Amino acid sequence: MLAVILFLASGLLPNGYGSDTSVALAQATNIIRLSVFLGIIAAGQTLVIISGNEGIDLSVGAVVTLTAILSYVIANGNDSRVLPALAVAVLVGAAIGLLNGAGVIFLRISPLVMTLGMSGVITGLILVAQHGNVVGAVAPIMTRIIARPLVFGIPGAIIIWLIFGILMWLLLERTQFGKNLFAIGVNRVTARLSGIDVTRMSVATYALAGALAGLGGFLVVGNTGVVFINMGNSFLFPSIAAVAVGGTLLSGGKGSYWGSMAGALVLTLLTSLLTTMQMPDSVRRMILGGTLLVLISIYGRQRGFRQ
């Protein structure tokens, strides 16, 4: 179904795209490639939301910006520094997620308040450390692997996303961690009585979400080749919307990463169509915001049914 939507959308684009199958396929491939980065960033958001307790990570945008800058500075145009840059991005993201989890669980701060406050702290640290001036460069190998075709004309980013999606499916559906995650999302009291360490699971979930946001920051800078202070902000709202559009209950306990992947594709497609129609940014934001409001209203009714 999603492939059909992408194909039809490509056919609706101007300049005769629909009349040439190869061009339409290229357009669909580009939409999928652009969806990769939102999809990977939405992975961590998916885990936090499934875990319940009204969890939504509002620090994702700041983490993406910080890890993108760190990757840019550490790599500094040198292929031999790519792995250290990736490791630092993931570890820093995980450390921030760990702090988020600790604040939510041990200090009993609301997830929204804790992650929003962390976002402000990270943004302030970036401004203080960099003073708006970031010195570095993307390593050539990052561009070759992430932004350019690797196999049969398929961009490396899409191949990475496919492998990543399989790993996320295995994590959620075939591991004890995944089973425990759904259990605490449905009912934390019942999960605790069943022998699940809810505290450790919750903190680990936020840490893993931060690590995935760090991976997203690394991939984003590898694709764009540049960094700027607010580059992660554009992923915050869509990462939540992608999870909701993908069918994950915002009340927790039910969802899948395949759904979040589909949500990322749909949002990217919608944004591409609105851009092609020359809709101003304000209108695009209104449409995406309206979409999320409708989904939140549905979520509220679902939560009432479950209670």
Spatial contact of 81 and 139, defined as CB atoms under 8 Å apart:
yes
Pairing of strands 149-151, 154-155: antiparallel
Residues 186-206 pLDDT 10s: 999 999 999 999 999 999 999
- Is 16 part of a structural domain of the chain? no
Q: Return d(Cα 99, Cα 81) in angstroms, integer.
A: 27
In one-letter notation, the amino acid at residue 210 is G
- State the Cα torsion 275-246-36-170 to the nearest 10°: -170
Domain count, the chain: 1
**pLDDT of amino acid 98:** 97
Domain range enclosing 113? 35-306
User: Could you tell me the CATH number of the domain that includes residue 63?
Assistant: 1.10.3470
Q: Which residue has the tokens 């449905």?
A: 186
Characterise 79 by phi-psi region: left (phi > 0), alpha (psi -120 to 50), beta (else): alpha
Comparison of pLDDT for 201 and 126, the residue scoring more: 201
Residue 19 belongs to a domain = no
Residue 288 class from Cβ within 10 Å (0-12 exposed, 13-18 middle, 19+ buried)? middle
Shortest CA distance to 236 belongs to which of 43, 42, 90? 42
Q: Report if residue 130 sits inside a domain.
A: yes
| % the chain with pLDDT above 90 | 55
Q: Is residue 15 part of a domain?
A: no
- Enumerate the β-bridge partners of residue 276: none
Q: What mean pLDDT, rounded, does the chain reach?
A: 86
184 falls within a domain: yes
CA distances from 114 to 44, 67, 89, 98, 158 (A): 16, 19, 21, 12, 33
Q: Which residue has the tokens 């999960």?
A: 191
**Residue 258 pLDDT > 70:** yes
Please report whether residue 8 resides in a domain: no
Band of pLDDT at residue 7, cut at 50, 70 and 90: very low
The answer to whether position 10 is within a domain reads no
Q: Establish if 25 belongs to a structural domain.
A: no
Task: Catalogue the E-assigned strands of the chain.
Answer: 149-151, 154-155
Predicted pLDDT of residue 271: 81
For residue 149, the model assigns a pLDDT of 81
Alpha helix ranges (H) inside 225-256:
233-245
